[in-house]
A and B are shown apart, each in its own frame.
Chain A
Amino acid sequence: MHALLLPLAVSLPDNPNLWDNLRFQTTGILVVFFALGSLALVVALSGRLFVALEKRQAAAKAVPSPDLRAAPPGEGVPPEISAVIAAAVAVALAGRPFAVRRVHLVQASEQLRAWSVEGRRQIYASHKVR
């Protein structure tokens, strides 16, 4: 509160000259860059920390993804789901020969991933596979 009562060095009269105005605006843009720049720096550093922590946690919880070849009958992807996936691939590849080698679950809960999935869907829908 005491800071509000101090005389301000940075101020501007009602009708300033151009030089005073430029000085005032330069200080203003410096304040904005200082605020957002320091935020960017802290967010970048903390982001690295969060990513490292997540990687460590993910490694601790790592579970091998289901593999069709390795999955014994009755486990992994159910046969009817495998059939649906194979049918979808057949349509997408327009009758070309193919083999489904591996199916793994994509976690689509995060909004960012939803955006990229939508983008990928639009790309795939925009042209026929050669």
Chain B
Amino acid sequence: MHQILSDFFDFFKLTAFDQLTWQMLVMWGVAILLLYLAVRKGFEPLLLVPIAFGALLANLPTHGVITREFQANGMLDSAILYVDTQTVPSAAVETPAPATPPGESAPVRSRIDRIEGGLYDFIAQGIKLELFPPLIFLGVGALTDFGPLIANPRTLLLGAAAQAGVLITFIGANLLGFTSRQAASIGIIGGADGPTAIFTATKLAPELLGAIAVAAYTYMALVPLIQPPIMRLLTSEKERRIRMKSLRTVSRTEKLFFAILVTVVCVLLVPDASALIAMLMLGNFLRECGVTERLLKSAQNEIINVVTIFLGTSVGLTMAGESFLRPQTLMIIGLGVVAFGAGTAGGVLMAKLMNLFSRGNPLNPLIGSAGVSAVPMAARVSHVEGQRADSSNYLLMHAMGPNVAGVIGTAVIAGYYISTLGR
């Protein structure tokens, strides 16, 4: 009996209870809050659920899920590791090699380049190697109809103006003490484009990836709450009632030409955004060409769904309590609101400015706010606000123009930041 009890208590030495920290417990609360927002409130559930679950896993002493990191004392814990090594010349090693005693062979000096861990060590390579965001863009392109944008190309300028939120937030983050690379990653939240925010943060500030992704996706879900007050503040009742001319029908050939054009122009201008732009337009080409139905269905469904699960959980796994529970995270969440608000204002004010030069064919300024991407949520907000002023005014398809232009605009500004700050 004594032996059984002893074995029983010995077993508890193998459990992970003693590895819990207060940060982990707080992060359980954060994960549950995110799950609540996603499940009960419907805030971007497709992404927040995997992110929140990943955050929960990141704050449990898991084995075989993520890469084992070195502990503070420089030791590794007891996970089984597969170690890739590369033999390097002694000169490349910082510490000098000890003299070899006569008669003994020279020791092999190795540098550990990579320590492989469990399941998510491999899956998270999709973020580290910047594979997931472009793959998500493949699906986004396959799901997006650029017809309204092609029919009314001046709405591209609204998508450009809405990037004001990115720039203003960049400056604000810099003033709050973030480095330029971190500030650029935080600013991209204002683009309201999750994959681009993750892509930029991975390149420029991987240490902030979790907080940036959570802020980006949470605020995208809050677009219907954040945007309307700003839209109403900046427009008059008369402006909100403006009816726009019907959009012409765009031919398939024109849509195919557009996909090629955007790819060539954007890649030439900002090669650092090539992966995003190229995959977005490849997905759109598959959609419009009409002869790749099987590939289109995969891009629209299986690929984007599988990658979304992996992307979300990988991002969540970066939210370890030690790195997430810092004042910086609160600042990022605060700056996210500024970013969305300024982007909304930029688009609306640009539409009003354009109306000064096109009185015969005015834009309803409410569609300017859709330039912050968040497809199609922001376009829906423009439509609903327009209907509040005039219930028979249908702005949805007009707002889809700046909405998809915002996706391109955010990719361009991300490419600008990566090319100037990323090396």
Given the contacts A12-B421, A115-B396, A32 and B147 also touching, CB distance less than 8 Å: no
Main secondary structure on chain A at its contact with chain B? helix
Which residues of A have CB within 8 Å of B249?
A: 110, 112-113
* Closest partner residue, chain A, to B423 (CB atom): A4
The interface size of chain A toward B, counting residues with CB under 8 Å, comes to: 45
Are the C-beta atoms of B413 and A28 separated by less than 8 Å?
A: yes
Are the C-beta atoms of A44 and B420 separated by less than 8 Å?
A: no
Spot the interface stretch: B20-28, B256-264, B291-299. Answer: B256-264
Interface status of B253 (Cβ within 8 A of chain A): yes
Spot the interface stretch: B79-87, B157-165, B311-319, B322-330. Answer: B157-165
Main secondary structure on chain B at its contact with chain A? helix
Which residues of A have CB within 8 Å of B394?
A: 115-116, 119
Which residues of A have CB within 8 Å of B254?
A: 46-47, 50
Are the C-beta atoms of B174 and A21 separated by less than 8 Å?
A: yes
Chain B, 122-169, CB within 8 A of any chain A CB: 145, 147-151, 153-154, 156-157, 159-160, 163-164, 167
Are the C-beta atoms of B258 and A21 separated by less than 8 Å?
A: no
Are the C-beta atoms of B396 and A8 separated by less than 8 Å?
A: no
Docked complex Cα distance between A105 and B420 (Å): 56
Bitwise interface map of A from 3 to 14 toward B, beta carbon under 8 Å scored 1, else 0: 010001011111
Interface status of A65 (Cβ within 8 A of chain B): no
Docked complex Cα distance between A51 and B408 (Å): 25
* Partner of A21 from B149, B171, B269 at Cβ < 8 Å: B171
* Closest partner residue, chain A, to B175 (CB atom): A18
Are the C-beta atoms of B258 and A43 separated by less than 8 Å?
A: yes
Interface status of A40 (Cβ within 8 A of chain B): yes
Q: Give 5 closest A-B pairs by Cβ, nearest first.
A: A43-B153, A40-B156, A25-B167, A36-B160, A14-B179
Question: Interface on A for B, CB 8 Å cutoff?
Answer: 4, 8, 10-16, 18, 21-22, 24-25, 27-29, 31-44, 46-47, 50-51, 54, 110-113, 115-116, 119, 123, 126
Question: Interface on B for A, CB 8 Å cutoff?
Answer: 145, 147-151, 153-154, 156-157, 159-160, 163-164, 167, 170-171, 174-175, 179-181, 246-251, 253-254, 257-258, 261-262, 265-266, 269-270, 391-392, 394, 396-397, 405, 408-409, 412-413, 416-417, 419-421, 423
